[in-house]
């Protein structure tokens, strides 16, 4: 079984779940002839149908996709996603400057950066971006841990 | 007021000092984004969109910024295509075929300046086309009712299926995922919460910026992470850095033909710069016949795709401004920007928001001039930026993306959700589901549902209203044709091959 079939099949299952959920959407008063229920059901039914087609169509209709995956790449991808997730979770609590420095260091290392160089650039770019957005462009960013120290 | 007066009014909007500076900044940033391999116009526009909004720019300035970035990207893509043989964005793929050989012959400077000039000509011709055709189309489209709109959107989506990607099924799935994501949130008619799973953060629907940045920026970082970054050798520009008059006249015909073709392709919903440049490259090679040295460094091979991709970028504004149906993934994002400002794109924009429409059109002319001026002398500076290592660039892109999403609602939920969407987007991209279809579906989703329901309210639930007028019937026929287009194309191709044998 190819990834394509597995992934499409999974999407079809999710669609069935969503269609089931959508059956509960009944408006207390009918404001318009069709109400909130049929449209989502229509969309997810079509989606379920097409994903099932992709999941089960005969092999001659499929094109071989070279995913180009190996253990090292998958490891890097997982680490990168974890770094980005943690960045999102701690964006407010750590504050933009510290969280960005840590994320840049982690992602930079994944992109083959040397430790010292990446660290210097991480600190520099988090400060530059903070000054650019928070001070110059007035896009307010969280200070987090630093809030007691600066402003 | 006639078209000309409106255009002059547009220029008065676009030439205020603030908007000129915005156009300049946008053009500069766009060129850089377009040049960097992997980052295309959608990424650039998506990342900048929340800032335009957070900075409190008026809608016309925000659109001018995004349009400048869009055009800038189409200019920028050619720089890396010619100098390092890696297209900066999808529209520049054809440019590598002749641009890189020219660079290796020591003619990089000529190729760069020629492609800048042809980009300029393509974009200018297409913008003139926008001025001529958009008002007419808008006037005609005002008579569209909700039923016509609904069918038009169905057509736009099937068009995408027929033109984008090798497998229409996958394009269809991507578009439906977008349509499905658009149903999340409170239903505007009845106030029922759909697919929010009792989360306050979803009650307003999924933020547009979260979707675009998640799907495009985060997934892009993951895609780039796969490719181990090998050092590209940037080729020197060569002795002469400007094209001469003879080279200009030699390629002029190709440029003009490609510009017109690019404009027409750009107008079609869904068919963007990539298709336009591939089509014109193929047809110019045919026209040149044996006299051409296409593939080995023919100047026309650089001029035609560049003219075409810029022309189609400008052409894709036509359906967005007149019908409220975007002509490309990037204009879909720009349409999302308009909805952030609570402006519904459509034919009434021309009468209700002349500042926005004509300011945008006039700024297309201005951005082109800015880009031509920026690109010829500063190309060396831009080329230097290609040497910025990815361990500096990618974290910075990630940080800017997060700031963009955070600036809209300031919640941690959006950030985490964005990463999740990015991972999903990455899987879709790896399996060849075109994300531009997804974004088009998302942008059209809400409009499509509300138009369908309005139409059925008018007819009191009778589905017949969806095919009762000549316009709807014509659009249905076109939509069905588009569904079968790939099959027709395959049959045609097979026959062509047989006759060639």
Q: What is the mean pLDDT of residues B249-278?
A: 84
**B270 band by pLDDT with thresholds 50, 70 and 90:** low
Asked if residue A145 has pLDDT above 60, the reply is yes
Domain count within chain B? 1
Tell me the pLDDT tens digit for each residue of A36-93.
888 999 999 999 999 999 888 888 777 777 777 778 888 989 999 999 999 999 999 9
Q: Which of B223, B209, B162, B129 is nearest to B425 (CA)?
A: B223
In a mutational test of the A interface, the residue from B21, B154, B176 whose CB has the highest number of chain A CBs within 10 Å is B176
Judge: A25–B194 Cβ closer than 8 Å, yes or no.
Answer: yes
Within 10 angstroms of residue A93's Cβ, the number of other Cβ atoms is 12
Question: For residues B440 and B96, what is the distance between their CA atoms, to the nearest angstrom?
Answer: 28
Is residue A133 situated within a structural domain?
yes
Measured at the CA of B127, the angle between CA B122 and CA B130, to 5 degrees, comes to: 130
Give the pLDDT score at A91.
92
Spatial contact of B401 and B47, defined as CB atoms under 8 Å apart: yes
**B274 band by pLDDT with thresholds 50, 70 and 90:** confident
> Whole-number mean pLDDT of chain B?
85
Of chain A residues 57-116, which have a CB less than 8 A from chain B?
57, 63, 65, 67-68, 73, 76-77, 80-81, 84-85, 87-89, 91-92, 96, 100, 103-105, 107-113
In a mutational test of the B interface, the residue from A68, A80, A127 whose CB has the highest number of chain B CBs within 10 Å is A80
Lowest mean pLDDT among A76-90, B154-168, B183-197, B341-355: B154-168
- Kindly state whether residues A76 and A144 are assigned to the same domain: yes
Question: For residues B103 and B453, what is the distance between their CA atoms, to the nearest angstrom?
Answer: 56
**B166 band by pLDDT with thresholds 50, 70 and 90:** low
Is residue B329 situated within a structural domain?
yes
The token pair at B220 is 């892009």
Asked if residue B136 has pLDDT above 60, the reply is yes
Tell the residue number behind the tokens 């060639």, with chain if given.
B500
- Kindly state whether residues A53 and A102 are assigned to the same domain: no
- Kindly state whether residues A80 and A57 are assigned to the same domain: no
More confident call, B469 vs B90: B469
Judge: A111–B391 Cβ closer than 8 Å, yes or no.
Answer: yes
Please state the ipTM of this predicted complex. Answer: 0.92
Which of A65, A81, A121 is facing B432, going by the closest CB pair?
A: A65
**A96 band by pLDDT with thresholds 50, 70 and 90:** very high
Which of A26, A39, A140 is facing B449, going by the closest CB pair?
A: A39
Is residue B91 situated within a structural domain?
yes
Domain count within chain A? 2
Please provide residue B185's backbone torsions phi and psi, each rounded to the nearest 5 degrees.
110, -175
Q: Which of B95, B64, B326, B371 is nearest to B212 (CA)?
A: B326
Is residue A51 situated within a structural domain?
yes
Chain B residues in contact with A32 (beta carbon < 8 A)? 189-190, 453, 456-457
**Structural domain that includes position B482:** 3-228+246-500
Is residue B395 situated within a structural domain?
yes
- Kindly state whether residues A51 and A80 are assigned to the same domain: no
Asked if residue B228 has pLDDT above 60, the reply is no
Give the pLDDT score at B388.
81
- Kindly state whether residues A90 and A138 are assigned to the same domain: yes
Percent share of chain B, pLDDT over 90: 19
Final residue of a structural domain among A26, A41, A61: A61
Asked if residue A149 has pLDDT above 80, the reply is no
**B232 band by pLDDT with thresholds 50, 70 and 90:** low
Is residue A66 situated within a structural domain?
no
Q: What is the mean pLDDT of residues B105-129?
A: 90
Q: Model's pTM, two decimal places?
A: 0.84
- Kindly state whether residues A76 and A11 are assigned to the same domain: no
Which of A53, A65, A87 is facing B402, going by the closest CB pair?
A: A87
Chain B residues in contact with A35 (beta carbon < 8 A)? 189-190
Q: CA of B408 to nearest chain A CA: how many angstroms apart?
A: 10
Which of B173, B179, B398 is facing A84, going by the closest CB pair?
A: B398
Tell me the pLDDT tens digit for each residue of B411-461.
899 999 999 999 999 999 888 888 888 888 888 888 888 889 888 888 887
- Kindly state whether residues A143 and A78 are assigned to the same domain: yes
Q: CA of B62 to nearest chain A CA: how many angstroms apart?
A: 14
Q: CA of B234 to nearest chain A CA: how many angstroms apart?
A: 20
Which of B187, B407, B430 is facing A67, going by the closest CB pair?
A: B430
Query: For B130, what's the count of Cα atoms within 13 Å in the CB-facing half-sphere?
Result: 35
Is residue A39 situated within a structural domain?
yes
**Structural domain that includes position A25:** 3-61
The token pair at B348 is 């009434």
Asked if residue B69 has pLDDT above 70, the reply is yes
Judge: B396–A141 Cβ closer than 8 Å, yes or no.
Answer: no
Q: Which of B39, B50, B154, B171 is nearest to B439 (CA)?
A: B171
Judge: A27–B389 Cβ closer than 8 Å, yes or no.
Answer: no
Is residue B207 situated within a structural domain?
yes
- Kindly state whether residues A75 and A56 are assigned to the same domain: no
Task: Please name the residues in contact with B288: beta carbons below 8 A apart, sequence gap of 6 or more.
Answer: B294, B298, B300
**B500 band by pLDDT with thresholds 50, 70 and 90:** low
What is the DSSP annotation of B355-370? HHHHHHHHHHHHHHHH
Question: For residues B501 and B490, what is the distance between their CA atoms, to the nearest angstrom?
Answer: 17
Asked if residue B271 has pLDDT above 70, the reply is no
Judge: A104–B396 Cβ closer than 8 Å, yes or no.
Answer: yes
- Kindly state whether residues A79 and A143 are assigned to the same domain: yes
CB of A144 within 8 Å of a chain B CB? The answer is: no
Is residue B237 situated within a structural domain?
no
Is residue B315 situated within a structural domain?
yes
Asked if residue B120 has pLDDT above 80, the reply is yes
Final residue of a structural domain among A61, A84, A111: A61
Is residue B235 situated within a structural domain?
no
By CB atoms closer than 10 A (0-12, 13-18, 19+), residue A48 is buried
Final residue of a structural domain among A21, A38, A61: A61
Which of A36, A103, A133 is facing B187, going by the closest CB pair?
A: A36
CB of A119 within 8 Å of a chain B CB? The answer is: no
Is residue B239 situated within a structural domain?
no
Give the DSSP letter of residue B295. T
């Amino acid at each position: 079984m190819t990834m394509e079939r597995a992934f499409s099949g999974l999407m079809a299952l999710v669609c069935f779940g969503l269609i089931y959920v959508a059956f509960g959407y009944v408006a207390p008063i009918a404001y318009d002839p069709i109400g909130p229920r049929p449209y989502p059901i229509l969309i997810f039914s079509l989606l379920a149908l097409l994903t099932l087609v992709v999941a089960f169509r005969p092999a001659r209709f499929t094109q071989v996709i070279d995913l180009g995956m190996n253990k090292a790449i998958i490891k890097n991808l997982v680490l990168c996603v974890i770094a980005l997730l943690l960045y999102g979770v701690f964006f407010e609590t750590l504050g933009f400057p510290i969280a960005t420095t840590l994320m840049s260091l982690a992602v930079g290392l994944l992109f083959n950066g040397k430790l010292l160089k990446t660290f210097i650039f991480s600190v520099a770019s988090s400060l530059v971006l903070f000054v650019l957005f928070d001070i110059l462009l007035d896009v307010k960013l969280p200070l987090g841990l630093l809030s007691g120290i600066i402003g | 007021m006639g078209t000309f007066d409106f255009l002059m009014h547009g220029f008065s909007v676009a030439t205020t000092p603030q908007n000129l500076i915005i156009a300049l900044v946008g053009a500069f940033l766009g060129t850089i984004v377009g040049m960097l391999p992997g980052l295309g116009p959608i990424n650039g526009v998506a990342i900048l969109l929340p800032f335009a909004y957070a900075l409190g720019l008026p809608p016309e300035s925000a659109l001018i910024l995004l349009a400048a970035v869009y055009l800038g990207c189409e200019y920028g893509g050619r720089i890396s295509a010619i100098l390092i043989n890696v297209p900066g964005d999808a529209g520049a793929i054809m440019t590598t075929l002749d641009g890189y050989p020219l660079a290796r012959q020591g003619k990089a400077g000529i190729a760069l300046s020629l492609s800048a000039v042809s980009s300029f000509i393509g974009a200018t011709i297409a913008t003139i086309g926008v001025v001529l055709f958009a008002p007419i189309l808008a006037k005609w489209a005002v008579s569209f009712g909700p039923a016509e709109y609904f069918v038009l959107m169905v057509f736009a989506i099937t068009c995408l299926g027929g033109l984008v990607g090798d497998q229409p099924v996958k394009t269809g799935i991507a578009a439906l995922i977008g349509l499905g994501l658009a149903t999340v949130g409170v239903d505007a008619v009845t106030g029922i919460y759909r697919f929010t799973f009792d989360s306050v953060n979803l009650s307003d629907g999924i933020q547009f910026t979260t979707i675009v940045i998640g799907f495009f920026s985060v997934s892009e970082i993951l895609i780039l992470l796969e490719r181990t970054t090998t050092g590209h050798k940037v080729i020197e520009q060569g002795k002469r850095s400007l094209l001469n008059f003879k080279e200009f006249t030699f390629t002029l015909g190709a440029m003009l033909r490609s510009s017109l073709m690019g404009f027409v392709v750009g107008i079609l919903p869904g068919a963007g710069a990539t298709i336009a440049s591939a089509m014109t490259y193929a047809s110019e090679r045919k026209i040149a016949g044996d006299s051409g040295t296409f593939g080995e460094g023919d100047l026309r091979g650089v001029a035609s795709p560049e003219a075409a991709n810029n022309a189609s970028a400008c052409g894709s504004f036509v359906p967005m401004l007149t019908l409220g149906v975007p002509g490309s993934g990037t204009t879909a994002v720009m349409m999302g920007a308009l909805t952030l400002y609570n402006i519904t794109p459509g034919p009434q924009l021309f009468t209700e928001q002349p500042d926005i429409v004509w300011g945008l059109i006039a700024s297309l002319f201005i951005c082109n001039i800015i880009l031509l001026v920026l690109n010829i002398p500063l190309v060396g500076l831009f080329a230097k930026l290609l040497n910025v290592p990815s361990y500096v660039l990618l974290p910075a892109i990630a940080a800017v993306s997060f700031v963009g999403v955070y600036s809209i609602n300031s919640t941690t939920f959006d950030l985490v959700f964005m990463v999740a969407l990015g991972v999903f987007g990455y899987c879709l991209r790896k399996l060849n589901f075109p994300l531009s279809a997804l974004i088009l579906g998302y942008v059209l989703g809400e409009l499509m549902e509300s138009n369908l329901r309005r139409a059925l309210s008018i007819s009191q639930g009778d589905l017949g209203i969806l095919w009762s007028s000549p316009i709807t019937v014509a659009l249905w026929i076109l939509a069905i044709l588009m569904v079968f287009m790939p099959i027709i194309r395959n049959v045609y191709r097979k026959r062509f091959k047989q006759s060639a044998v």
